[in-house]
Amino acid sequence: MHSAIALSDDADDFSQARFRFAPPDNEAPAAVGVSGVIGRGTDAAILLVGLARYTGGLHIDLAIRRRLDPGPDDHLHVTFNAGLLVGVELADGRTVVAGYDDWNNLPAADEPLLTHRGGGGGGREWSSTLWLTPAPPPGDLVVVVACPSLGVDESRLTVDAEALRAAADKAEVLWPREPDQVHHAVRQNPVDVPPGGWFERAFAALPTDEPAG
């Protein structure tokens, strides 16, 4: 996964970018009362475990369940989202697919962005979390998944507009978000170097950031 947080050295750009890729840390989200099987094949199923509504986005929890233990060369042992396609269709008809954005050109603030937040597991159980921002417009929201390598065809689950609206009303801002603190590097204590040897000469040759006397 790439990161767009390093797109700019400007503090405002940094702040905006980080919330396109992660939920705000000053909010208590509200659960959207929707879960269930999105799609399934003969030996695998993809589940919507839960949704959490923030004021500015939607946190999506997915899971993969398998009937049999995977083999040692199974692709899910390499990365949690290998072969798993996830997308969202908004009520206004716009669509977005996770991981298929131009990371060097962050979409405009009002354009949807769906990013992988993490995941993992092992054996027959795997999880994947995603972050959708900005908050979806009023109306139904459709979650679309597919995983051909596991025999799960393209499938969808519709999240009811009323459930989304009710959760939006309950999402709570805990406090205004304070600016991020700037942490300076901590200077390490000098290493004990044997006098008169190679290390003493090597350390003496290193550049120093101490001001000249």
pTM attached to this predicted model: 0.77
Picking from 129, 153, 159, the residue whose alpha carbon sits closest to that of residue 39 is 153
158: nearest Cα among 144, 145, 141: 141
- The pLDDT value given to residue 104: 61
Token pair of 204 as six digits: 């003496």
The whole-angstrom separation of Cα 161 and Cα 6 is 35
The 3-state DSSP class for residue 127 equals strand
What integer is the mean pLDDT of 130-154? 95
What is the pLDDT averaged over residues 77-82?
Answer: 53
Instruction: Please give the structure tokens belonging to residue 98.
Output: 């996770």
Domain residue spans in the chain?
Answer: 5-173
In the predicted structure, residue 212 carries a pLDDT above the cut 80:
no
The end-to-end CA distance of the chain, in Å, is 47
**What pLDDT was estimated at residue 204?**
83
Prior bond of 23 cis (ω within 30°): no
Distance of CA 189 to the CA centre of its chain: 37
pLDDT at 15: 62
Task: With beta carbons less than 8 A apart as the criterion, state whether 39 and 46 touch.
Answer: yes
pLDDT tier, 176 (very low <50, low <70, confident <90, very high otherwise): very high
Q: Six-digit token pair at 55?
A: 């004021």
At the topology level, CATH places domain 5-173 in Immunoglobulin-like (2.60.40)
CA distance 114 to 141: 13
Higher pLDDT, 189 or 8: 189
Higher pLDDT, 105 or 136: 136
Amino acid at position 45, single letter = A
Tell which residue, 91, 27, 16, 81, has the closest CA to residue 59: 27
